[in-house]
């Protein structure tokens, strides 16, 4: 069993007015609570909360520099690469993480190697490639050994997890993610009742928990919100770990379109976040995620399917008695990324239609509302 | 000749401390200087300035709810639809404008009709369609007559310009865009020396000018920056209007990949912005835009080709003597939208490669840096 490395701080040396300062773009805003930001930023973070009709808040992480939450992780992880004198950055990802790593590496003047699946969505392939990274489309089982040689022989810094028995991740990853919690606290002016988080390896989940936990260490809050992990029902290593009392598990993964959070292996961080916060691990089907995505897009937010897992988890949530989860305070669902990253994006164009009024009028009569 | 409608305010009734308040998401932040915001928002605006190595600031408008500047326009234009009791929203656009209109219409509970070209980029087609709008792919020449019937017979509110002799646009459009100027002023703490703006119909250009002009009316600034319009060299109706002393012109348009700002017809607003600010109309070739896009992506910002016109204009700028434009204060280039909107996005995937070290090492040796 592999446990992740944890970053600790001298909390008594954090400036007392840190949370009294206005919100601003860039993780610099939170520098006293972060590892050294040796790599330049792109104004990441400071994403808005958008409210749904029933008052639920959506933390719109598609408003980051590469349009996902992964920018927060990569600002600090690429800073580690820069600070340690690495000659490049290596990552295994067919989605947001690879693109964010490529962008921050480019900004820091470091080359980037992205191990990606050849069946990555076409729009995502354009995306990762745009930043000038080398896209290495080798079979998944070959990645760990090849990545190790990239690290050893080329001197590249890994910003993905290459441990086998459990996901450990980059130690600085949750440090970037915890700023999500700081921002929610600043925006709401209070600790929410619950946060629902799309969950793959559980790093974002843990980061959000850690951020709120730090607020209690700093004396700014007296509790954390309940953290709800929202995994695809096709897998669910965290739900399995919690059910079986283990620090991490490996599970078989069935088919799911939520490729961004489809993971066979979990990690200890997710267990800590759920247990310490009094939350739970929920699993959601593709149908539930699709319904949540439809709800979000009906409110003007086009998210990646994986991103809708948070809202899907909230909508599906039943307590032990089988009743819907009830909250007495604000509830936040994190939406991690934009709809551009989905598999179907860019695969269909719209053929010309007849330029007559009857055709146009018929199309409008089909519209809802 | 058709002139646009202009919105005026009782500037003496604007709260004196409005610009002393912290930045925040949502045009509500600027409500005292905007038309009534009758339609709900998505936390639009409050986008960061990202600095290039030489100190030039890039205003990253891809950080909006639908990842372009058009969200600012559509928040206020859809508000006009809502406030006037319209039964829907109609727009002609094959890109960002259509997607933003569809998102804000969905959020406001209004159906949306988007007249779009059948050859819109595939990723953009996914995008517009995602919000549930009717995508009407009729030939361009049929749009004005059909759109008029949508307005008259269905009671939809137009958020595009349907005037023929010159572009007039929605009167509230520049009201949304002027918040770009407010934010730049707030972020820099001063009026920049110059702002370079990708220019199609010139509405964003005028909005940015108007925002700075209002700062002078409010006594907060003593001048506006020089506004530089950056049009594709394939067309250039504003450059032609300024050269020939006319309020607006129609020009032939050659081939260009910068579809977001490729316009045959200009409007009076652009002329006002350039003349009043002491700026100029620049034209940039596709090659210059591609070079500027490469510069931006090398700094971690993947923008649509049209979006790079601002930086391309700055880099190509020569004064009347043939020398590079020199600035004594901060310079801002507006980048309007993300690279996802480009024609090539999503059209190419990456075939599997051999899983051996020699292949991987060779790919890494090809990387710059």
Q: Give pLDDT, residue A188.
A: 97
- Give the angle B247-B250-B253 at the CA atoms, nearest 5°: 140
Q: Which residues of A touch B131 (CB under 8 A)?
A: 297, 300, 302
Least confident residue range of A27-41, A272-286, A330-344, B317-331: B317-331
| pLDDT score of A58 | 98
CA distances from A230 to A227, A267, B91 (A): 10, 15, 38
Which residues of chain A are within 8 Å of residue B24 when distances are taken between CB atoms?
Answer: 23
Q: What percent of chain A has pLDDT over 70?
A: 98
pLDDT value of position B49:
98
Q: What percent of chain A has pLDDT over 90?
A: 81
- Asked if B162 reaches chain A (Cβ–Cβ under 8 Å), the answer is no
Residue A85 pLDDT class (50, 70, 90 cuts): very high
CATH 3.40.50.1100 segments of chain B:
70-158, 173-341
Which of A91-100, B103-112, B297-306 has the least mean pLDDT? Answer: A91-100
Does the pLDDT value for residue B320 go beyond 80?
no
Average pLDDT over residues B278-298: 97
The whole-number pLDDT of residue B125 equals 80
Q: Which residues contact A168 (CB under 8 A, 6 or more apart)?
A: A2, A3, A4, A5, A161, A267
Tell me, what's the pLDDT at B2? Answer: 86
Of A111, A137, A300, the CB nearest to B103: A300
Q: What pLDDT was estimated at residue A320?
A: 66
Q: What is the Cα–Cα distance from B340 to A178, expressed in whole angstroms?
A: 28
Report, as an integer, the average pLDDT of A320-329.
Answer: 75
Would you state the pLDDT for residue A71?
A: 98
What is the torsional sign of CA B188, B190, B192, B193? negative
Is A67 in contact with B338 (Cβ distance < 8 A)?
yes
Summarize the confidence of residues A197-220 as an average pLDDT.
98
pLDDT band at A16, cuts 50/70/90?
A: very high
* C-alpha span between B241 and B232 (Å, rounded): 15
Instruction: Answer whether B357 sits within 8 Å of A63, measured CB to CB.
Output: no
8 Å CB contact of B348 and A126: yes
pLDDT of residue B103: 97
Full DSSP string of B253-311: ----S-GGG--SB--HHHHHHHHHHT-EEEEE-HHHHHHHHHHHHTTT--B-GGGGHHH
Lowest-confidence region among A81-90, B280-289, B357-366 = B357-366
Quote the ipTM score.
Answer: 0.95
- DSSP string for residues in A139-171: -GGGHHHHHHHHHHHH-EEE-S---SSS----T
Residue predicted with more confidence, A322 or A255 = A255
Q: Taking Cα atoms as reference points, which of B105, B42, B84, B161 lies closest to residue A364?
A: B105
Residues of chain A contacting B367 with CB distance shorter than 8 Å:
88, 111-113, 132-134
User: DSSP for B134-156?
Assistant: EEE---GGGHHHHHHHHHHHH-E
pLDDT band for position B319 (50/70/90)?
low
Query: How many Å apart are CA A47 and CA A57, to the nearest integer?
Result: 12
CA distance A100 to chain B (A): 9
Residue of chain B minimizing CA distance to A299? B107
- Burial class from Cβ neighbours inside 10 Å (0-12, 13-18, 19+) for residue A8 reads exposed
Report B:17-36 residues touching A (Cβ under 8 A).
22-26
Q: Give the model confidence (pLDDT) of B135-168 as tens digits.
A: 999 988 899 999 999 999 999 999 998 887 889 9
Summary mean pLDDT of chain B: 93
The answer, for B185 touching chain A at a CB cutoff of 8 Å, is no
Using CA coordinates, name the residue in chain B closest to A122: B346
Nearest CA in chain B to A144: B355
Confidence at residue B369, expressed as pLDDT on a 0 to 100 scale: 63
Which pLDDT score, from 0 to 100, does residue A319 have?
67
* Residue of B298, B301, B348 with shortest CB distance to A42: B301
Of B23, B42, B344, the CB nearest to A126: B344
How far apart are the CA of A368 and the nearest CA of chain B, in angstroms? 7
pLDDT above 70: residue B193: yes
Name the residue facing B25 among A48, A133, A349 (closest C-beta).
A48
In chain A, which among 114-133 make CB contacts under 8 A with chain B? Answer: 116, 118-123, 125-127, 129-133
The pLDDT, as a whole number, for residue B342 is 78
Q: Return the CATH number of B173-341, one of 3.90.1170.40, 1.10.3720.10, 3.10.350.10, 3.40.50.1100.
A: 3.40.50.1100
Question: What CATH architecture does domain A70-158 belong to?
Answer: 3-Layer(aba) Sandwich (3.40)
Taking CB atoms and an 8 Å limit, are B123 and A345 in contact across chains?
yes
Q: Is B184 helix (H, G, I), strand (E, B) or coil?
A: helix
pLDDT, tens digit, 9 for 90 and up, residues B172-191: 999 999 999 999 999 999 99
Window A:302-361, CB contacts with B under 8 Å: 302, 338-340, 344-355, 357, 360-361
In chain A, the residue whose alpha carbon lies closest to the alpha carbon of B350 is A118
- The domain A1-68+163-369 is placed in CATH, from the list 1.10.132.10, 3.40.50.300, 3.20.20.70, 3.40.50.1100, at 3.40.50.1100
Contact check, Cβ <8 Å, B134/A297: no
Calculate how close chain B gets to A193, using CA atoms only, in Å.
22
The torsion angle over the Cα atoms of residues B18, B24, B27 and B33, rounded to 10 degrees, is: 10
CB-CB under 8 Å, A43 with B50: yes
Question: Which DSSP string do the residues of B70-100 spell out, in sequence order?
Answer: HHHHHHHHHHHHHHTT-SEEEEE-SSHHHHH
Q: Which residues pair with A272 in a beta bridge?
A: none
DSSP A182-247: HHHHHHHSS--SEEEEE-SSSHHHHHHHHHHHHHHHTTS-S-PPEEEEEEETT--HHHHHHHHT-S
Confidence (pLDDT) at A369: 63
Give the residue with greater pLDDT, A152 vs B118: A152
CB nearest to A345's CB, from B126, B300, B369: B126
Query: Which phi and psi (to 5°) does residue B63 adopt?
Result: -95, 20
Mean pLDDT of chain A: 93
Among the ranges B130-144, B271-285, B355-369, which has the highest mean pLDDT value?
Answer: B271-285
CATH 3.40.50.1100 residue ranges for chain A = 1-68+163-369, 70-158
Among the ranges given (A307-321, A334-348, B83-97, B354-368), the one the predictor scored with the smallest mean pLDDT: A334-348
Q: A349 and B104 in contact by Cβ < 8 A?
A: no
SS3 A262: coil
Closest by Cα among B106, B105, B103 to B64: B103
Q: Which of A306, A290, A349 is nearest to A197 (CA)?
A: A306
- State pLDDT tens for residues B82-108: 999 999 999 998 889 999 999 999 999
Q: What band does B328 get if pLDDT is binned at 50, 70 and 90? A: confident
Name the residue facing B131 among A116, A153, A302 (closest C-beta): A302
Q: State how far the Cα of B352 lies from the Cα of B331, in Å rounded to an integer.
A: 44
User: Best-predicted range by mean pLDDT among A319-333, B152-166, B291-305?
Assistant: B291-305
């Amino acid at each position: 069993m592999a446990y992740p490395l944890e970053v600790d701080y001298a909390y008594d040396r954090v400036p007392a007015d840190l949370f009294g300062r206005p919100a601003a773009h860039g993780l610099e805003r939170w520098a006293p609570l972060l590892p050294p930001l040796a790599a330049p930023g792109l104004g990441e973070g400071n994403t808005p909360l958008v409210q749904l009709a029933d008052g639920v808040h959506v933390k719109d992480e598609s408003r980051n520099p590469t349009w996902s939450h992964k920018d927060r992780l990569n600002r600090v992880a690429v800073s580690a690469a820069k600070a340690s004198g690495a000659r490049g950055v290596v990552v295994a990802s067919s989605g947001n993480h690879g693109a964010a790593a490529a962008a921050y590496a480019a900004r820091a003047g470091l080359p980037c190697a992205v191990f990606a699946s050849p069946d990555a969505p076409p729009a995502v392939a354009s995306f990762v490639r745009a930043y000038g990274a080398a896209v290495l489309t080798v079979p998944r089982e070959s990645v760990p050994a090849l990545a190790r040689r990239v690290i050893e022989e080329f001197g590249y810094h890994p910003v993905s997890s290459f441990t086998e028995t459990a996901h450990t991740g980059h130690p600085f990853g949750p440090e970037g993610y915890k700023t999500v919690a700081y921002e929610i606290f600043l925006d709401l002016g209070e600790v929410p009742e619950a946060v629902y988080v799309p969950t793959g390896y559980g790093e974002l989940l843990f980061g959000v928990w850690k951020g709120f936990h730090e607020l209690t260490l700093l004396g700014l809050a007296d509790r954390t919100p309940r953290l709800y992990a929202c995994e695809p029902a096709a897998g669910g290593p965290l739900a399995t770990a919690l059910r079986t009392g283990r620090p991490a598990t490996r599970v078989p993964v069935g088919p799911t379109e939520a490729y961004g959070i489809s993971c066979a292996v979990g990690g200890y961080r997710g267990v800590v976040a759920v247990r310490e916060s009094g939350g739970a691990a929920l699993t959601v089907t593709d149908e539930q995620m699709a319904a949540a995505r439809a709800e979000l897009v009906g409110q003007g937010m086009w998210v990646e399917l994986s991103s809708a897992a948070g809202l899907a988890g909230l909508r599906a949530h039943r307590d032990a008695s089988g009743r819907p989860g009830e909250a007495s305070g604000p509830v936040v669902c994190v939406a991690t990324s934009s709809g551009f990253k989905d598999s179907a994006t860019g695969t269909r164009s719209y053929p010309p239609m007849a330029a007559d009024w009857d055709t146009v009028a018929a199309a409008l009569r089909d519209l809802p509302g």
